[in-house]
Homo-oligomer: A and B are copies of this chain.
Amino acid sequence: MTRQIGFIGLGIMGGPMAMNLLKAGYRLVVNSRTKIKAQAVLDAGAVWADSAAQVAENNQIILICVPDTPDVEKVLLGSKGVITTARPGTICVDHSTISPKQTQIMARQLEQKQITLLDAPISGGQIGAIEAKLSIMVGGPADALEKVRPVLQTIGRNIVHCGSSGSGQMTKLANQIMVIHTVMSIAEGLAFAEKAGLNLQTTFDATSSGAASSASLKNLGPKIIAGDMKPAFMVDLQLKDLRLVLECAEEMKQPLPGVALAKQLLTVLQAQGRGGDGTQAMIDVIRGLGRKSTFHFNSGLF
Residues of A in contact with B (beta carbons under 8 Å apart): 100-101, 104, 123-125, 128, 135, 137, 139, 158, 160-167, 170-171, 173-179, 181-182, 184-193, 195-199, 202-203, 205-207, 209-217, 219, 233, 245, 248-249, 251-259, 261-262, 265, 286, 289-291, 294-295, 297-298, 300-302
Closest to A121 in B: B206
For A137, list chain B residues within 8 Å (CB).
206-207
Name the distance in Å between A195's Cβ and chain B's nearest Cβ: 5
Q: Would you list the 3 A-B pairs with minimal beta carbon distance, nearest first?
A: A181-B185, A253-B291, A178-B212
Q: How far is the CA of A257 from the CA of B261 in the complex (A)?
A: 8
Q: How far is the CA of A61 from the CA of B135 in the complex (A)?
A: 50
Contact partner, A210, options B158, B205, B207, B289, Cβ 8 Å = B158
Q: Give the number of times this chain occurs in the complex, counting copies.
A: 2
Name the distance in Å between A103's Cβ and chain B's nearest Cβ: 9
Question: In the complex the two chains form, is A185's CB within 8 Å of B182's CB?
Answer: yes
Question: In the complex the two chains form, is B262's CB within 8 Å of A203's CB?
Answer: no
Besides A171-B203, A182-B214, 13 other CB < 8 A contacts? A123-B212, A125-B211, A160-B205, A162-B198, A171-B202, A175-B212, A177-B192, A178-B212, A182-B182, A192-B254, A252-B294, A254-B290, A255-B286
Given A192-B173, A245-B192, residue A291 in contact with residue B252 (CB < 8 A): yes
Contact partner, A163, options B178, B184, B202, B214, Cβ 8 Å = B202
Question: In the complex the two chains form, is B188's CB within 8 Å of A258's CB?
Answer: yes
Given A170-B193, A202-B163, residue A175 in contact with residue B135 (CB < 8 A): no
For A171, list chain B residues within 8 Å (CB).
193, 198, 202-203, 206-207
Q: How far is the CA of A196 from the CA of B261 in the complex (A)?
A: 21
For A160, list chain B residues within 8 Å (CB).
202, 205-206
